[in-house]
Amino acid sequence: MEPHTEVAPSTLSVRLVDGGIVVTYLDGREVFYHGAPEPVASPHLSAPGKDVHVLVTDDAETSGVLTYVDERTTDASILEDSGVGRVLLDPGEERTLFPGVDAARENLRCEIRVEHDLVDGRVFVFEEDQFAERSYELTPANR
């Protein structure tokens, strides 16, 4: 088995709809993130052991980039075909996902930080495992 590698994200189609967010992959498949994202101030610390996906939209909220943080199960070729990116983090490591959006590995958690003045669109964090799915919109602390 090949070791997992990082993958750069591509721009994907995004639709904010009643009940959630639809992301259309490059290969035409769609993923639906359920529920209206809960607004939370940046930085956001994920629940332990969750799969963390970060979506940064453009200012029109019609396209964006989707990056999996520290996801180690999907083959890189599948991610490349879909347009989804992947960043792998060592414990204590911090990386830029998108200009103004950083991720850090804190033991079994991910911390996502946003410098809102550097991001034109919106930033969403999706946390999931086999039992539950939660979605958040990272907002400035004073919002």
pLDDT tens by residue, 62-110: 999 999 999 988 999 999 999 999 999 999 999 999 999 999 998 889 9
pTM of whole model > 0.85? yes
pLDDT of residue 141: 74
Cα–Cα dist 1/101, whole Å: 31
The vertex-84 CA angle with 81 and 89, nearest 5°, equals 125
Q: Provide the H-helix boundaries in 3-118.
A: 76-82
Cβ-based burial of 110 (10 A; exposed 0-12, middle 13-18, buried ≥19): buried
Which DSSP category does 82 fall into? H
Question: Per-residue DSSP letters for 91-115?
Answer: TT-EEEEETTEEEEEETTEEEEEE-
